[in-house]
Amino acid sequence: MSLARSGGRVQPARPGDPRRVDTYRIIGRLGSGGMGTVHAGLDPAGLRVAVKVVHPAHAEDPEFRARFRREVQLSARVQGPCLIPLLAADPDARTPWLATAYAPGLTLDRHLAVHGPLSGGTLYAFATGTARALAAIHAAGVVHRDVKPQNVILTPCGPRVLDFGIAHAADGTSVTRTGVMTGTPGWISPEHYRTGTAGPEGDLFAWGALVAYAATGRLPFGTGAPDVVAYRVMSGDPGLDGLPEELRGTVVRALAKNPGERMTADAAAQECARLLDAQATVVLTADAGPGATSADLLVSDGWSVPDAEDRAWRTPAASTRKRALMAAVAAAAAGAAVAGGIVAFDTGDRGAAGTGPRSAVGSTPLHGGPSSVPAGAVTASPVDARTVRVPTDPLAGVPDPAYTRSGDETQPQPGEWRTSTTAADPREREAERSIRDRMAAVLATKDMDFMKPTVTFNLRAQTVIVTGGPVPQLPDHYREVFRRAGEMAACTALAHRLGNAPATWPYGRFSVYWKTSDGDVDAAAIGYGTATDGCFTEIAGQWRGDESGMATAEIPSSDKAEIRVADATAKAVAATWNTAAAETNEAPLGAADGITLGFDPVENAAYVWTDDPNDRFASRASQSNLKHAVEEAVCRRLTAEFHSNRSWNYTRWAVAVYNPYTHGRQFLGSGTCTP
């Protein structure tokens, strides 16, 4: 079930349709399918959203719930250009649902049927935008697996790739049933037909077919019975007549039969951006202004599709700031790998956490980390820095802030890192010190304080930049912790300063880069986001554990207090379970049941997990009992330590168990303890 099967046109609500889903007012339907219904909704501010609600019959199926929960987790961790951001979700509700930004427009196949093939700047912008979307998906460790015309919407602002219903994580955890061929004939790679392999290379194969189809209006491997199409995909040459010569080489490499001969999505995006740049150089007028050939501006300026506005949407007039936010959402949330995303960005974040989502609507969470009181604050009595809240919307109600890029979620532009400078005034130096101190505290708990961050500033981009490396032979998961720590430290520092001095503090964006050598002239961006949408992983205002936090928690701690509390808390979980065993009729827990606890210092959370070696937690009842035991025991221990140890920052918890359907871990619950 896609979030845009109706071409974005609002259909009347039907008897039995909900009037509200959580905070969203339902005004009609956008489409429906075998899995559920997609409703047209309005958030409390009047912004348009698409709300996917699962059919009640599927809600009773534990396997479906596990797959839907995985869809939510993956959708939240995947954030980037030309994607549709997840706004909120509740996979554990009686009737599971999720909400995304609304993207007006026709799907590619419908657009071609009505208006014909894409051409000129629109075609090059399509190729660039969709490749960039796939690059963001793959950077989050996710494979789409269903790239096809029905899953690309042509909005007035550019193409949008959607539908992660059968996506899976690159680590192999899948949301589909074992043994079932996923994908659509004609958009399945040769290796997937032969061996069932579905990796990033398969997405690129489908992307090449997608670009050819957009340019010609013909399916590159023709039509017919599925087995006939499969034979052509595995053995035949694609039909590329009508494809512009400049694009042909890129598309041919994407359609190589051998996946090892295909380029990456990022490389395809760069090649198409260069072609788009050349195209724009010819068509842009002299008064287009400086910077008019940057990738984002080119996609926007080169794009031209008919307006898809639907008068059936009736929304109140939005403020200038909300209109800017709507435009930014329509333009797609780019990268917030930022802590502050919904379930994850990492993996992500996504959370991204990244991060991001990429933020869900929500209240301000506890800061929960080493920090100083925001610059300029005056207090009459000592303040516990651990209770200072991070503003989730520090510019709310500010008429003319110094930071002017709120809602702009475009990726870092080439040259931003190279042209950044060291702190130039006391305020920048104080912000640098805050970010470095926060990162040092986080990294030290994992014995990673050998990774020393450099903090620089790019005033023109209104971006604070955190750089790490080079560190020879550094494991990937260490760099991932550095990325998450850098994003969180920068996000919280900037959010405080935006909230405290909105009229004078100009920085609201942050980027994290990694150098591979001391002589790097352009380090690689590994994360970025904005401090105006919240810094913590939330859904509907509640903190949620995610895979990126779990991955960090699995790295052994080097902090003595964490080691002590982890050991005591794991025992307390078992003791709490065993105390309730007489009422729950559960067998006692022992050491062989594999209850493990670790800490994520980035979001100040304790993670409890088990790979369930004795198959103790397969039933809903057992999972519910484990969740309650964890919440009670962990919050009791964390709260006691919080009050007795002034340096203790952990106030959040999450619990996960092995899921035999996904062959990965399934989150049972998470939340925030009240100190």
Quickly count helices (H) and strands (E) in the chain. 16, 21
pLDDT band for position 349 (cuts 50, 70, 90): very low
For range 49-59, the mean pLDDT = 88
Per-residue confidence (pLDDT) for residue 46, from 0 to 100: 79
Q: What does each C-alpha distance from 55 to 42, 58, 90 come to in angstroms? A: 21, 6, 14
pTM: 0.48
Torsion sign across C-alpha atoms 538, 356, 93, 169? negative
Residue 163 sits in the same domain as residue 77: no
- CATH number of the structural domain spanning residue 66: 3.30.200.20
pLDDT for 79: 77
Q: Are residues 402 and 513 in the same domain?
A: yes
Residue 364 forms part of a structural domain: no
**Which residues constitute the domain of residue 159?**
106-283
Residue with token string 């790239």:
147
Look at strands 36-42 and 542-543 and give their pairing. Answer: unpaired
Helices (H), ranges, 23-142: 56-59, 62-77, 108-115, 120-139
Query: pLDDT (tens digit, 9 = 90+) per residue, 612-671?
Result: 888 889 899 999 999 999 999 999 999 999 999 999 999 999 999 988 877 788 999 999
- pLDDT the model gives residue 225: 80
Q: In this structure, what token pair is assigned to residue 441?
A: 């505290």
Q: Are residues 399 and 517 in the same domain?
A: yes
The Cα 487–Cα 512 span in angstroms is 7
| pLDDT band, very low/low/confident/very high, at 298 (cuts 50, 70, 90) | low
* Same domain for 275 and 152: yes
User: 63, 81, 101 — which closes off a domain?
Assistant: 101
Residue 169: inside a domain: yes
The band of 440, judged by pLDDT with boundaries at 50, 70 and 90, is very high
Domain end marker among 60, 81, 101: 101
3-state SS, one letter per residue, for 163-195: CCCCCEECCCCCCCCCCCCCCCCCCCCHHHHHH
pLDDT at 105: 86
Q: Which of 440, 441, 434 is nearest to 464 (CA)?
A: 434
298 within domain boundaries: no
Let me know whether 531 and 569 are in one domain. Answer: no
In this structure, the answer to whether residues 256 and 403 fall within a common structural domain is: no
**Shared domain check, 253 and 124:** yes
Render 115-129 in DSSP notation, one character per residue: H----HHHHHHHHHH
Number of domains in the chain: 4
Residue in 351, 322, 319, 321 with CA at minimum distance from that of residue 337:
351
pLDDT attached to residue 331: 36
State which of 36, 69, 101 marks the end of a domain: 101
Is the residue at 294 inside a domain? no
Averaged pLDDT, 324-351 = 30
pLDDT digits (tens, 9 = 90+) for 124-155: 999 999 999 999 999 888 888 889 998 899 98
CATH code: domain of residue 274: 1.10.510.10
Question: 324 lies in a domain?
Answer: no
> 113 and 259 share a domain?
yes
CA distance 534 to 342: 10
In whole angstroms, how far apart are CA 294 and each of 105, 159, 465, 500, 517? 24, 17, 20, 33, 27
Q: Does 651 reside within a domain?
A: yes
Q: What is the pLDDT of residue 244?
A: 94
**What amino acid positions are annotated as catalytic residues?**
146
293 vs 636, more confident: 636
Query: In terms of domains, do 122 and 251 share one?
Result: yes
Task: Tell me: do 586 and 454 sit in the same domain.
Answer: no
In a domain, 206, yes or no: yes
Report helix, strand or coil for 33: coil
Residues 581 and 444 in one domain: no
User: pLDDT, tens digit, for every residue of 649-659?
Assistant: 999 999 999 88
Q: Widest CA span of the chain, in angstroms?
A: 80
Q: What is the pLDDT of residue 65?
A: 84
Residue 70: per-residue pLDDT: 80
Looking at the structure, do residues 528 and 665 belong to the same domain, yes or no?
no
Supply the angle between the helices 245-254 and 200-216 in degrees, to the nearest 10.
Answer: 150
Query: In this structure, are strands 538-539 and 524-530 parallel, antiparallel, or unpaired?
Result: unpaired
The answer to whether residue 5 sits within a structural domain is: no
Average pLDDT in the 288-298 region?
Answer: 41
